[in-house]
Amino acid sequence: MNKLELIDLLTEGFNQLLLPVKGILELERIPINIWTDSYLCGFLMTYIGEYVHSAKIQFQVSLDGDDFKKIIEKTDPDNGDIFLMLLEQLTVSGDENFFKEEEMQKGRDVAKTFLNLGLRDVFMILPEVDKDNENIKFAYSKAEEMKKLLINTYPDIKELSSISLDVAASQALIHSKFYGYIKDNKKKFWDENFFSLLFIYVLTIIIFLLVFISINN
């Protein structure tokens, strides 16, 4: 597998993750505040980063920061470049208060557990997680129920009857802790979408001006 094929593979996986978001929110486009919500940002950035890391090792293909950006931009062409620009400006300015670290960490933990459970049969190297952490306990407690739900919902997909308990647990986790979070906060994402976009544009301009002034002083 070459670099372009790997980027396409990772982009497709990320697309499948984000596709249900539009349906949950009943919107034609993914709102920008999916990326600026601390919990979801922690999840998404960890999901991409850890997935890329595991794939690089598995397929012996080197990916760099530009490739990482391509994956985000191809997955969400409406918001990807805006979000990446925001991250860059926050890094330059050293602003550590835009995102809530505690919420980001919760998202990171869910993403690592999701990948650890769901990709055990795919990758040799996976994110390390404590086997007794609360996310794993929750996922396995819902695994059998999730497997039955998937089989009943998609009866034509015969492969679902043979999915492992690990995969079923990963699906239970993502449906509850990622999609469930979005569903429970629908109004937040509807109401804040316009103002979040406006705020990011204004913040980016302010940070850019501050950096420009500091460079020229």
Q: What is the pLDDT of residues 56-115, one digit of tens each?
A: 888 888 888 888 888 888 888 888 877 787 777 666 666 567 788 899 999 999 999 999
The string of pLDDT tens digits covering residues 155-170 is: 888 888 889 999 999 9
Tell me the H-state helices in 26-164.
33-36, 38-59, 65-75, 80-93, 101-118, 134-141, 143-153
Lowest mean pLDDT among 22-26, 104-108, 181-185, 208-212: 208-212
For 163-190, what is the mean pLDDT? 92
Number of domains in the chain: 1
Residue 118 has pLDDT above 80, yes or no: yes
Separation between Cα atoms, residue 197 and residue 192, nearest integer Å: 8
**CA nearest 33: which of 90, 87, 79, 70?**
79
Q: Which residues contact 140 (CB under 8 A, 6 or more apart)?
A: 165, 169
Residue 6 has pLDDT above 60, yes or no: yes
For 109-132, what is the mean pLDDT? 90
Separation between Cα atoms, residue 168 and residue 117, nearest integer Å: 9
Domain containing residue 42: 3-23+30-215
Separation between Cα atoms, residue 50 and residue 84, nearest integer Å: 18
pTM: 0.82
Residue 181 has pLDDT above 60, yes or no: yes
Whether 117 contacts 175, CB under 8 Å: no
Q: Which residues contact 77 (CB under 8 A, 6 or more apart)?
A: none
Instruction: Quote the pLDDT of residue 87.
Output: 72
pLDDT cut 90: percent of the chain above it: 32
Instruction: Quote the pLDDT of residue 208.
Output: 61
Instruction: Quote the pLDDT of residue 185.
Output: 92
Instruction: Quote the pLDDT of residue 169.
Output: 95
Separation between Cα atoms, residue 212 and residue 206, nearest integer Å: 10
pLDDT greater at residue 1 or residue 140: 140
CA dihedral for 136, 142, 147, 151, sign (positive or negative): negative
CA dihedral for 190, 194, 195, 200, sign (positive or negative): positive
Mean residue pLDDT across the chain? 84
